[in-house]
Every structure is written in C-alpha cells, then in structure tokens.
Amino acid sequence: MASFDNEALLGAELFDDVDALIDSAPDVSPVAPQLQAKAREVARLAKDAQHRKSLNLMIKEQIVPKFQQYAATQSGVTKNQWVATIGTGNYGADYWRRSAANLLGLWANTNDEVVYFFTTQDGDGQALNGTNDYILEFSAAGRPDTVVNAYWSVILVDVPNYRVVPNSMNRFNFNNYSGLNTGADGSLKILFARAPRSEVPESNWLPAPDGKAFFLNMRTYVPRDVVKRGEWFPPKIQRLR
C-alpha cells in the first residue's frame, strides 16, 4: 500500500489497493455501497495505462487542489475568516466534509462534545504567515470561556502537515488554564508572532514559524447552544503593521 503525506497526496495509485481498503472496515454512510462500487470501477479502469495517466493528471491537477481549498476554507460555516465545524461528527452522505476532517484533524467529535473553529487567513483574507505578527482580541463579553461548559483551547500548527511548530519555549497552545493575562476591561488578546511585542503580555504570545504559513484551530469543548447554532465566532485576526 502506497505511503503519502499531506504535502503529496496520492494520485492514481490510490486505487491500486481499493478492494483491501474498502473491505478493511464497515462503513455506516448511507451512500457507502454506491460510492464503493464507483471506486472499484475506477480501480478497474486505472489498470489500463492510458486511463491511469488521465486519472493521475485529473487527481493531481484538479481534484487535490480543489479539495485542499475546500477543506481549509469551505468545509463548515464561515464568519470572520474562521470556519466552524457545525454538523461535524455525523457526516451522513457528506464525503467532502468527512474527508476534510480526516485531512485537517484525523477525525472529529460531534458538536455536543466540541465545535472546532479553524482558519488560515487574517481578517483581510490574506494567508497567515510567520513573516507577519497578528493579534486575536476578544471582548470581555465575547471571550471563549463565556460560551463553553467545559473548556476552550487554541493551537498553532504548520501547513500542510498540521503539526505543532517547534519553539524554544515548547509553547504550542493556550486554554482556560494557561494563565493568560486579561485587560483592565476584561478583554483578552493573544499574539501570534515570531517574537513577543509590547502590545500583548508575553504570557499571551504563541510563537509562529518565521516566514512560513500556519493554521489556527480553536476548540470549544461542551459548547453552549450559541456556539452550536453558529451564533458565536472568534473575531477577525488583526495583522499588526
């Protein structure tokens, strides 16, 4: 069975072991039989050299780029350049969202357990990159601890592998118990940058990879109804000039 990573997803070789993959575990999706039949038919065609060449080009040049774009920016409810995983966990016939969850996080809980918010963009729609410095600022009334019955967290990972970014502080995420400093008015600022800045307490600084793209994932565990209804979102991320 071919090996791969998030940077180089499989092409036509994906279908070389289709029978073994399908038969390895039962699938509860209501459309599984139809999709499995289609996969087996594509695998049959992929044995022909000409079909295999066309299939490989289609996967590499069209399907994979479209899917990666969908997963990062369109696989949930969107607001403030954040994507919320409303409906994640019970996928039914939605294989696009199911596959996106596998790419970005291996799997996902149902919304009664957690709603995830993720983004690769700042408030202006520009890609997050460690060349720049960013602030995520919550008002006192809109802080994440006000909308959860358990706890919240935010983690910074690299792109495209979605793994934590090594840093000298071994600081990879923040949550309710991180000892973050709040403003006199109860607001909360989190800095994502190569180095600390005077605008934000150093305790609230999450190191970003210098000159490299990154991805933010905020989790709200046992979220309140306002989150599950899609009425609460993290604010836009501000790029500091």
pTM score above 0.85: no
Q: What is the mean pLDDT of residues 33-60?
A: 93
Q: Is the pLDDT of residue 104 over 80?
A: no
pLDDT band at 161 (very low <50, low <70, confident <90, very high): confident
Average pLDDT over residues 154-182: 93
pLDDT tens-digit profile of 78-93?
999 999 988 776 767 7
> Can you give the pLDDT at residue 89?
66
Which residue's entry shows tokens 């066309």?
54
pLDDT single digits (tens) 209-237: 999 999 999 999 999 999 999 999 999 99
Q: What is the CATH number assigned to the segment(s) 77-240?
A: 2.60.120.600
pLDDT tens profile 107-145: 677 889 999 999 999 999 999 999 999 999 999 999 999
The pLDDT of residue 237: 98
1-5, 64-68, 176-180, 210-214: least confident range:
1-5
For CATH 2.60.120.600, the residue range(s) in the chain are: 77-240
Is the Cβ–Cβ distance between 16 and 43 less than 8 Å? yes
Q: Is 126 left (phi over 0), alpha (psi -120 to 50) or beta?
A: beta
Cα 93 to Cα 2: distance, rounded to the nearest angstrom: 27
Query: What residues contact residue 98 under an 8 Å CB cut-off, 6+ apart?
Result: 29, 91
Tell me the pLDDT of the chain averaged across its residues: 90
Higher pLDDT, 32 or 2: 32
Q: Residue 106 — pLDDT band, cuts 50, 70, 90? A: low
Measured CA angle at 83 (ends 188, 75), to 5 deg: 165
The predicted model gives 9-18 an average pLDDT of: 88
pLDDT of residue 216: 96
